[in-house]
Structure 1
Amino acid sequence: MTQPNEQLTDRQKKRLVLMICIILTFTVMNGTMFNVAIPDIAEDFNLMPSQVTWVMTGYILVFAVGALMYGKLADIFPIKRLLTFGIIMFAFGALIGLFSQNYAFLLVARIIQAVGGATIPALAFIIPARFMPKERGRVFGTVSATVAFASGLGPITGGIVGGTFDWRYLFILSIISVAFIPFLRNSIPDEEVRPGTVDIPGAVLIAVSVAGLLFFITMFSVIGLIVFFGALFIFYLHIRRHPAPFIDLDMLKNKYYTTAVLTSFLGTSVMFGMIFIVPIMARAVYDLNTLEIGLLLFPGAMGAAIVGQRGGRFVESRGSYPVLQTAFILAIAGSFLISAFIGVSPYFLAACILVQYVAFPLIQSSTANLLTELIPDEKTGIGIGMFNLMNFMSGAISSAIFGALLDLENVDLQLNPFARSSEVFLYSNLFMAISLTALGALAFFTLRFRKRPLPQ
């Protein structure tokens, strides 16, 4: 394998990071813009929360499988080629979505977008590890801060465009991303094609399995559960015979790698749960419009962007362990505060959301940096790909679960003693569940890593 990082000057590295951040902004905004528009989409197509969740869930499911697939492809094909293909597909899906007139058409557009868009976050974490290994901690922080910044810009943009015009016009911003292809191609070093194979049947089986699970969660479909277990069993038989399986079982035998990936899975479920529930809760409890929902999320996302930028430096100077543990403490506190104060002033609730939101980039950057310490150089693509697969799968599963729970009515159970009234028990209980999930992730990580020597 070539070592393109030796060919890059400091100026070229800065330009490459800038291009990554610009194109990543379009991808992340694409998710959070539509998040605040979910109530409007549900109203337009007369959908229940468990049904409209597929706008996010279907997108994230394809994103999850694509993230690992592109991670594997990055070990074989030049990153420049993969990103070009991805951005074109991302924009093409957006073009279809712009003219969607029914829910099925919208889902097709989102899936095509996900097929292309999955290249961007997947490769955004591989590029620093491959081309800038000495600065990877700092670049991971910058990438994570960009994700947080874009996730904050998305709700505001979605609120303005969706509230002033129509949510379909949000697709226009994704179409614009093709304009940056020439600049991105000029910034990425050339690479040669390397030998290797891609397990496409394995990827399809994983996608079918997870889709079955999500159908079971959202629609209580027994057929979905049968599909989940059936596809999973066939996948297990398949990877035992395949020379280069979609999921590397040898890598999963490393308990520290597996622990880091599962910790990130739980951490991502905490963040996706919050981002999915807040718009629906804000419409139901506070009767906020699309723009106001964006403003509710904006301070948290901006705070996360600032903390995420510094988080990369914290990871480099203090190490991944303490940063990751601090991030989960913030997630626990933030979700508990939201649970306790739903129903009070939206301004105060925005401050509670801020506490949880700032945990997101710290979890991402510290986990990504920790994984690069655990993964052999020749398996960087598949190792980071597994990390992305689990993160996005976490988002799909958590969104589906919370979407199904949001269909419930007349909830009398009160998990948080500080919840203000029975009208908000459902939302309060969901955020208590998020807080407990973050607590479990922190305990799991700390116990599993307590005997591992700290990296020098």
Structure 2
Amino acid sequence: MPLLILATLPFYRKYLAEEDTLSRGSFDWLGGALLGVSVALLLLGVTNGTWWFLLGSLLTLALFIVRIRRAADPFVQPKIFANKRYTAGLVLAVLINGMGIALYYVSPLLLSSVQELSTNWIGFVMVPAAVASALLGRVGGKIADRKGNAYLFFLASGLLLVCFGLLSTFTGIAVIGIACFLIFGNVGQSFMQITLANSISATLAKEQAGVGMGIFSMLNFISMGIALGIYSKVIDLGATTQWNPVNPYPAGFVYSNIYLVLATLHALIFLFYYFRFGKTRSSGLQANS
């Protein structure tokens, strides 16, 4: 799908006005290469459980930091990270997106191993949540416009908390139940993406918006990649005990435990956001972060 974006480039060149620039800097190929290598080694290290890859990632990241501090035209301007509101938004986005990817990765594995569904039927079970997310996406945007990003954040966080809590408690429920639980999660994650993008973009100056949102998108992919590696390792290890005492189903301990941890983390993020932003700033990260 990303390759199809190439077909839109001629339209961007045709309809977007050229910006006046006082000077043109050179592209920092070395900085970009160091960042790319660091990210690749990080993902390989998490996926394969290899410490050498992780050490290599830290080394190249350190070299990247040195490079952007010394280069005349760095790949990323270091001063952007001095923006505390922006940095706090990135931290929240990394955590939330890393947890949200469980909806699309752990849930199909649950349906396969516990409900014993075939691949085709797993796809059908995931469809209602995807449709609900698509239909309600515009609703989330309107809620953010009318009531603010903080309101939408609390709504999205609540939906995700309900979804993970139900999945942890009813891992062995009928397939229709899992499909209904996933609706809460997918809609919540869709709303969360809206409020995070709105909030983070509002912390950036005009000249930093492009690179700032680019870093935001990059970190989303990195966090999801790391989370996938972690979930895979945990599922491979399995579980012999169940941490959720109210789950009446004996199967799927490892899935119940994963969802319980995710529900707990979302509850902590909800409380952090409320006490840090919600009580004094009605606009949440858009006003303060």
**What is the TM-score normalised by the length of structure 1?**
0.57
Q: Determine if the alignment matches structure 1 residue 431 to structure 2 residue 272.
A: no
Deviation track 1:135-171 (CA, whole Å, cap 9, x = no partner) reads xxxxxxxxxxxxxxxxxxxxxxxxxxxxxxxxxxxxx
Could you say what secondary structure the match of 2:172 adopts?
coil
Task: Give the corresponding residue for 2:218.
Answer: 389
8 Å CA contact 1:343–1:424 kept in 2: the answer is yes
Could you say what secondary structure the match of 2:237 adopts?
coil
Runs of 4+ displaced beyond 4 Å: 184-187, 450-456
Q: Determine if the alignment matches structure 1 residue 415 to structure 2 residue 250.
A: no
**Alpha-carbon offset, residue 285 of structure 1:** 1.6
**Gapped regions of structure 1 (runs ≥ 5):** 1-25, 28-89, 92-119, 121-176
Cα distance change on mapping 1:247 and 1:443 into 2, 3 Å: farther
**Alpha-carbon offset, residue 311 of structure 1:** 0.9
- Distance across 1 between alignment mates of 2:250 and 2:57: 36
**Alpha-carbon offset, residue 190 of structure 1:** 3.8
**Alpha-carbon offset, residue 453 of structure 1:** 7.3
Question: Which among 261, 267, 272 is matched to residue 90 of structure 2?
Answer: 261
Write the letter of the residue equivalent to 2:268. Answer: G
Deviates more, 1:352-361 or 1:207-216: 207-216
8 Å CA contact 1:340–1:428 kept in 2: the answer is yes
- Distance across 1 between alignment mates of 2:143 and 2:103: 25
**Alpha-carbon offset, residue 437 of structure 1:** 2.7
Task: Give the corresponding residue for 2:29.
Answer: 200
Task: Give the corresponding residue for 2:16.
Answer: 189
Cα distance change on mapping 1:445 and 1:260 into 2, 3 Å: farther
8 Å CA contact 1:256–1:374 kept in 2: the answer is yes
Question: Which among 267, 281, 289 is matched to residue 118 of structure 2?
Answer: 289
8 Å CA contact 1:260–1:367 kept in 2: the answer is yes
Question: Which among 39, 53, 67 is matched to residue 210 of structure 1?
Answer: 39
Write the letter of the residue equivalent to 2:88. Answer: T
Q: Determine if the alignment matches structure 1 residue 399 to structure 2 residue 223.
A: no
Task: Give the corresponding residue for 1:367.
Answer: 196
Write the letter of the residue equivalent to 2:187. Answer: V
- Distance across 2 between alignment mates of 1:210 and 1:186: 30
8 Å CA contact 2:148–2:282 kept in 1: the answer is no
Could you say what secondary structure the match of 2:114 adopts?
helix
8 Å CA contact 2:144–2:152 kept in 1: the answer is yes
Write the letter of the residue equivalent to 2:142. Answer: R
Task: Give the corresponding residue for 1:440.
Answer: 268
- Distance across 2 between alignment mates of 1:192 and 1:246: 20
- Work out the number of aligned pairs and report it: 282
Deviates more, 1:256-265 or 1:433-442: 433-442
8 Å CA contact 1:339–1:429 kept in 2: the answer is yes
8 Å CA contact 2:170–2:247 kept in 1: the answer is yes
Deviation track 1:89-143 (CA, whole Å, cap 9, x = no partner) reads x26xxxxxxxxxxxxxxxxxxxxxxxxxxxx5xxxxxxxxxxxxxxxxxxxxxxx
Superposition RMSD on alpha carbons, in Å? 2.5
8 Å CA contact 2:31–2:75 kept in 1: the answer is yes
- Distance across 2 between alignment mates of 1:445 and 1:197: 40
**Alpha-carbon offset, residue 350 of structure 1:** 0.6
- Distance across 1 between alignment mates of 2:74 and 2:257: 40
8 Å CA contact 2:125–2:175 kept in 1: the answer is yes
Question: Which among 48, 59, 64 is matched to residue 230 of structure 1?
Answer: 59
Q: Determine if the alignment matches structure 1 residue 309 to structure 2 residue 138.
A: yes
- Distance across 2 between alignment mates of 1:443 and 1:376: 29
**Alpha-carbon offset, residue 348 of structure 1:** 0.7
**Alpha-carbon offset, residue 323 of structure 1:** 0.6
**Gapped regions of structure 2 (runs ≥ 5):** none
**Alpha-carbon offset, residue 264 of structure 1:** 1.7
**Alpha-carbon offset, residue 442 of structure 1:** 2.6
**Alpha-carbon offset, residue 371 of structure 1:** 2.3
- Distance across 2 between alignment mates of 1:219 and 1:436: 27
Could you say what secondary structure the match of 2:123 adopts?
helix
Cα distance change on mapping 1:301 and 1:186 into 2, 3 Å: same
Q: How does 1:335-374 map to 2 (within 5 A)?
A: 335-374=164-203
**Alpha-carbon offset, residue 259 of structure 1:** 1.4
- Distance across 2 between alignment mates of 1:391 and 1:295: 27
**Alpha-carbon offset, residue 335 of structure 1:** 0.9
- Distance across 2 between alignment mates of 1:425 and 1:299: 25
8 Å CA contact 1:419–1:425 kept in 2: the answer is no
